[in-house]
């Protein structure tokens, strides 16, 4: 016979595991949605540079999701790579998005917009910050940098920009 205490603990563990898995699945779904959003951003603005691709700088879960789902992205290694000229937009991963002012200034000088999920990204010189907000996905921009890089958003992208 199963002891009541053991049964109770088993039920608690099963419920905890079920809700944890549900939360994990929901979190993964949100991360995939954000990765897809990042991949599609270059289709919704015009810029003067000759780049056509989404470039990924650094490594985090978003880079892994995008790289796995799409085969036409560029993984940047700035020390040994000249493929930055292919970039229409650079996603800066969490591991690179802190204190990289010089790198961001280089992208800005080349008129290559940058985007990240790091909250302090705009203050560090980045151009676009993506978050989940009231309207699902929201985009905050450093208006000075975006204007300086001559980025022109289409109406759809403009509608999700928040101040």
Provide the pLDDT confidence category of residue 50 given band limits of 50, 70 and 90: confident
Mean pLDDT value across residues 74-91: 82
Instruction: Centre a 10 Å sphere on the Cβ of residue 12 and count the other Cβ atoms it contains.
Output: 10
Supply the pTM of this predicted model: 0.80
Q: Give the chain's mean pLDDT.
A: 81
Mean pLDDT value across residues 36-62: 90
Q: pLDDT: is 94 or 1 the higher one?
A: 94
Q: pLDDT: is 17 or 44 the higher one?
A: 44
Kindly report the CA angle at 162 between 157 and 163, in degrees rounded to 5?
135
Dihedral sign, CA of 96, 123, 110, 150?
positive
Q: In Å, how far are 21, 68, 75, 76 from 25, measured between CA atoms?
A: 6, 18, 27, 29
Angle, helices 4-40 vs 61-69, to 10°: value is 70
Residue 124 contacts residue 94 (beta carbons within 8 Å): no
**Scanning the structure block, which residue is given the tokens 């099963």?**
14
Residue 95 contacts residue 58 (beta carbons within 8 Å): yes
* Separation of CA 90 from chain center: 10
As a dihedral over the C-alpha atoms of residue 84, residue 88, residue 89, residue 95, rounded to 10 degrees, the angle is: -20
State both tokens at 24: 């994990």
Single out the residue of 29, 40, 56, 51 nearest to residue 149, CA to CA: 51
Domain 31-162 has CATH 3.30.1490.100: no
Provide the pLDDT confidence category of residue 49 given band limits of 50, 70 and 90: confident
Query: What's the pLDDT at 148?
Result: 92
Provide the pLDDT confidence category of residue 77 given band limits of 50, 70 and 90: confident
């Amino acid at each position: 016979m199963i002891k009541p205490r053991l049964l109770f603990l088993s039920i608690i563990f099963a419920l905890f595991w079920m809700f944890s898995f549900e939360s994990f699945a929901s979190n993964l779904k949100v991360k995939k949605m954000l990765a897809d959003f990042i991949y599609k951003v270059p289709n919704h603005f015009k810029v003067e540079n000759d780049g056509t691709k989404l470039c990924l700088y650094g490594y985090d879960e978003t880079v892994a999701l995008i790289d796995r789902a799409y085969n036409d992205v560029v993984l940047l290694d700035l020390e040994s790579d000249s493929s930055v000229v292919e970039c229409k937009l650079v996603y800066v991963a969490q591991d690179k998005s802190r204190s990289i002012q010089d790198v961001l200034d280089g992208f800005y000088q080349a008129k290559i917009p940058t985007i990240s999920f790091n909250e302090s990204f705009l203050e560090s010189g980045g151009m676009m910050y993506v978050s989940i907000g009231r309207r699902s996905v929201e985009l905050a921009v450093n208006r000075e940098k975006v204007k300086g890089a001559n980025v022109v958003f289409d109406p759809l992208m403009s509608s999700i920009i928040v101040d």
